[in-house]
Amino acid sequence: MKVILAWAGLNAGLALLLTLWWQNELANGLFWAAVAVIVVLALLAWRPRERPRLVPELSLSTVVLAFGIAGLVAGSTFGDWNFYLSGFVTAVGLAGLARELTLQRRQR
């Protein structure tokens, strides 16, 4: 929630500068509306008593998944072989993440 409120504060500062320097009602209204939406999202994300979460220090599966997704994005450029290989790497990354989440839930 704090990060979202900080983002709202940054956008409010930018909206204030826009309001001072540029007298366009539509642009200013849209920017201030975006600030209001961010504040509403921060209020929706607020949880009074959040229980501590277990966060792993190192996750190789996340890195494998990121490489797989990057390969899928570049797959159309380099050809079908890269697309299929990246799909396999993505599947391995997703399987590793599923395994890590299952083990994390068992530890609770």
The DSSP secondary structure of the chain, one letter per residue, reads -HHHHHHHHHHHHHHHHHHHH---HHHHHHHHHHHHHHHHHHHHH--SSPPP----S--HHHHHHHHHHHHHHHHHHH-HHHHHHHHHHHHHHHHHHHHHHHHHHHH-
* pLDDT category of residue 65 using cuts at 50, 70 and 90: very high
* Closest residue by Cα to residue 34 from 53, 7, 55: 7
Residue 93, pLDDT above cutoff 90? yes
pLDDT of residue 98 exceeding 90, the answer is yes
Q: Which of 12-16, 45-49, 99-103 comes out lowest in average pLDDT? A: 45-49
User: pLDDT by residue (tens digit) across 10-29?
Assistant: 999 999 998 898 888 888 89
Confidence band (pLDDT; 50, 70, 90) for 81? Answer: confident
Domain positions in the chain are 2-45, 60-107
How far is 80 from 97, CA to CA, in rounded Å? Answer: 26
| Per-chain mean pLDDT for the chain | 86
Q: What is the pLDDT of residue 57?
A: 72
